[in-house]
């Protein structure tokens, strides 16, 4: 939607290239821009997922609800009157009826995959809206800021839900947020072409003179440059 608005508004495109060819098909510059924006985002999402999976299977930390995943028979053993109470148990034998998938999943507590992907997508999208949305006026700016706050709140809610559902400890969610944000910053700084938007090209702002609207900063800059 944002890119369609930019095209319809004829916003100068700092990351647009010339029309290229893919085999015998001519690739429009607009599609090249979309590819330049989507490819780094998808790459960063894959990296975030990869690092999350490495942490999960490399550490093998138990989830807070691992006893439930192990099987309810365990509670019967703990609460039995003929068993010693208040005893630290260093190992637990899950029932043979417990599915293998449950046994594996209960050791995937570090780090939170929901938190890492939510933080990555939120960070990238918030920066994308800040840089690429060609809106003008205080009302439009406030709406953009509201959308950004909603994105942050949604990602925060996802992380909190993983704690309240006893799927992760709070530190697993916190480190998941940190992982997602770090990958997003890396992609935005080193891979995303959006940094060209921040290098001096900004959304158009109407210029008003004595006779009304006289164009945008881009047209004014072009006129000044042509007279030099």
Q: What is the phi/psi pair of residue 24, to 5°? A: -105, 5
Rounded CA gap, 146 and 44, in Å? 25
- From the candidates 56, 61, 114, 162, which is the catalytic residue? 114
Respond yes or no: is residue 114 known to be catalytic. Answer: yes
Percent helix / strand / coil, the chain, rounded to 5? 65, 5, 35
Rounded CA gap, 188 and 41, in Å? 9
Respond yes or no: is residue 202 known to be catalytic. Answer: no
Where do the H-state alpha helices sit in 23-86? 29-59, 66-70, 73-79
- From the candidates 63, 69, 132, 168, which is the catalytic residue? 168
Radius of gyration of the chain (CA): 26
Q: Which helix or strand (DSSP H or E) is residue 153 part of? A: helix 138-164
Rounded CA gap, 118 and 154, in Å? 8
What positions carry a catalytic annotation?
Answer: 114, 168
């Amino acid at each position: 939607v944002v890119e369609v608005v930019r095209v319809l508004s004829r916003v100068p495109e700092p990351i647009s290239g010339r029309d290229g060819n893919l085999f015998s098909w001519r690739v429009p510059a607009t599609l090249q821009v979309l590819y330049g924006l989507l490819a780094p985002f998808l790459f960063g999402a894959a990296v975030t997922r990869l690092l999350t999976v490495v942490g999960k299977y490399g550490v093998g930390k138990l989830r807070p609800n691992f006893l439930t995943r192990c099987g309810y028979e365990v509670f019967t053993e703990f609460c039995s009157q003929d068993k010693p109470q208040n005893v630290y148990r260093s190992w637990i034998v899950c029932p043979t009826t417990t599915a293998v998938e449950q046994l594996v999943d209960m050791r995937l507590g570090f780090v939170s995959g929901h938190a890492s992907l939510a933080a990555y997508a939120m960070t990238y999208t918030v920066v994308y809206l800040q840089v690429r949305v060609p809106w003008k006026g205080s009302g439009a700016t406030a709406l953009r800021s509201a959308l950004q706050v909603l994105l942050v709140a949604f990602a925060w809610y996802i992380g909190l839900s993983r704690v309240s559902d006893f799927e992760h400890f709070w530190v697993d969610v916190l480190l998941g947020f940190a992982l997602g944000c770090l990958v997003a910053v890396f992609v935005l700084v080193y891979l995303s072409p959006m940094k060209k938007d921040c290098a001096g090209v900004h959304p158009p702002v109407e210029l008003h003179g004595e006779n009304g609207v006289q164009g945008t900063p881009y047209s004014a800059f072009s006129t000044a440059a042509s007279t030099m």
